[in-house]
Chain A
Amino acid sequence: MKKYLKIMWTVIRNAYIRDSKIPGFVFVSLITSMLEIVITIVFFDIIFSASESIAGWTFYQVLFLYALAKTITSFHSALTKNGIQAMAHSYVRLGELDFYLTKPIDSMFLVSVSKPKIYSFVSMLLTIGLGTYALIHSGTNFGLLGMIWFVILALTTTLLYYYIEVLTIIPTFWLLQAWSLADAINKLQQFMRYPNGIFSRAIRYGLTFIFPIMVVAYYPVKVLFHGPTFSDIITVFAVTTAFILITRYLWRLGERSYSSASS
């Protein structure tokens, strides 16, 4: 554990040195991220100016759901997203994965943290602020128990999101290049922004148990606003455990089929 934390710290320090040399790039990237948040708020405002609720959720509840989804994605964007995308773009195709496989460290971990984008932590702070604002204005009376379960489930689904992110790019081991898979999570994370009541039963089921992107933000927020239920808690833990095991198994399978040939 200590070794992994030490590596993490070194990688973050290097990322800071690298990013501080391109302040313009960092600044514009942050503006893009902020713009996305502003536009989403405007979009929600448009929707709720004509409708009091969506699938039983009020403006501030949906805003809080978005804020949590964005916080989780920003956290991963800061630490793991670039590394995982690089895997789909070039690590396998160019044989660069050799570097990560030959180290006495878990290769999935090392690939994931290979290219952190630490300035995304700024976006994360903004969305935490947005979430706090939405929570205060939501007017919901959530109990202490709901709050505790929210924190536990949010941390669990943050882990789940990481494994989903990795899972989407695992086919790269066989496809060699998969730009589309690197971008897939960006498109699929849109499902995290809305209450699952807007989707049909089949989509809800599929995105909860088969590809559980909807579990990531919806379940913790549901527990906070509507109280914890046994089935919600079990769903989150069962799905997270299953996806950790599936992802790790498939990663090992992919590693075995990796031939290191580059093109």
Chain B
Amino acid sequence: MKKYFSYFISSWKSCTAYKVDYFLNFLFSLVFFFISFALWKTIYGGEGFQGIGGYSLVSTITYYFVTNIIFRLDLGVSVWLNNDIWSGYLTNDLVRPWNVKIVENMFAFANLFVGFVIYIPFLIIIYFAAHQYIVLPTSPDLLYFIVTLIIGLVFSGLFAFTLQSLAFYFGDQDANIELSNYLVMILAGGMFPLIFLPEKIAHIFNALPFKILFDVPANIWLGKMAWPQILHSWIEAGIWIVVMYVIFTFLYKNGLKRYTGTGR
């Protein structure tokens, strides 16, 4: 256990080796929120605007505030398994006395953890800049929100590991990862609430598991989901997590047998 903790700490340090770079990255991450803020304020301020899908201006801005938090907790961009496989770097981990899956997770979590902690001051800036348009959740909703975030985190991590395991079979998956990250962000409601979509499309998006990443937690924060709905989304995500874990285990186990460690 101690060795994994040490790995976590050293991963943490390596993530913050270039501090200015880290800081600037978060500074530029504010752009999406403030553009969305300006855009929706203008739209809602327009004559005769009725709102979309029962969302008021405050709900919409709060939605973007919450998704801004969740973006910092996206494991999909912190997993480097694909890179380790095609570069041959995975060999370094395989020959060491530790579980490769755990150290890969440790690195991803360290990256995420550091990123989230450093981002907190930026979130405070956003909150103070737009506090008139941001609602805070009730205590039970906050609790449900945190649980949903954790479930979403596990799901996104497993999804990323599953996708990146394909590198064992088909080589570099960089382009697929980029496509998948973008697609998942849309399907999950990372760009706008799913209820904004035309009914038929929203229906399809809601049938997929990705909504647990953005749309469900944001709606819980906003108090738009009743307890039975929340429970239903947890169970649904739980089933997907099991399915994803089985697929990942299969791909990883068989992939290791094909792995040559030569890199490209």
List the interface of chain A (C-beta within 8 A of B). 24-25, 28-29, 31-32, 35-36, 39, 42-43, 46-47, 49-55, 175-181, 183-184, 187-188, 190-191, 194, 197-200, 203
Contact = CB atoms under 8 A, between A and B. Distances in A.
A204 to B, nearest CB: 10
B179 A31 contact: yes
A108 B39 CA distance: 36
B24 A54 contact: no
Given A28-B178, A187-B29, 16 more contacts: A25-B175, A32-B175, A32-B179, A32-B182, A35-B186, A51-B43, A51-B49, A54-B39, A54-B46, A177-B18, A181-B21, A190-B31, A191-B35, A194-B35, A194-B39, A198-B41
Interface in B13-44: 18, 20-25, 27-29, 31-32, 34-35, 38-39, 41-43
B52 interface: yes
22 contacts: A24-B175, A25-B172, A25-B175, A28-B176, A28-B178, A29-B175, A29-B179, A32-B182, A43-B191, A47-B39, A51-B46, A52-B46, A55-B42, A180-B24, A180-B25, A183-B28, A184-B24, A191-B35, A194-B38, A198-B42, A199-B38, A203-B38
A198 B39 contact: yes
A85 B123 CA distance: 27
B179 A35 contact: yes
The 8 closest A-B pairs by CB, nearest first: A180-B25, A28-B175, A180-B24, A198-B42, A32-B179, A187-B31, A187-B28, A25-B175
A199 B174 CA distance: 35
B9 interface: no
B120 interface: no
A47 B186 CA distance: 16
A220 to B, nearest CB: 20
B182 A179 contact: no
Bin chain B's interface residue count.
35 or more
Contacts of A177: 18, 21
Contacts of B25: 179-180, 183
A225 to B, nearest CB: 18
A46 B52 contact: yes
B191 A198 contact: no
Contacts of B23: 180
Contacts of A35: 179, 182-183, 186
B42 A46 contact: no
B43 A50 contact: yes
Contacts of B183: 35
Contact of A188 (B28, B39, B49, B192): B28
Interface string B159-187: 00000000000001011101100110010
B174 A25 contact: yes
B56 interface: no
B197 interface: yes
Contacts of A181: 21, 24
B46 A175 contact: no
Interface string B179-213: 10011001000011000110001000000000000
B256 to A, nearest CB: 23
Q: Kindly name the residue among B21, B22, B31, B41 whose own CB sees the greatest number of chain A CB atoms within 10 A.
A: B21
B51 interface: yes
A36 B182 CA distance: 8
A29 B175 CA distance: 6
A196 B52 CA distance: 23
Contacts of B31: 187-188, 190-191
A181 B18 CA distance: 12
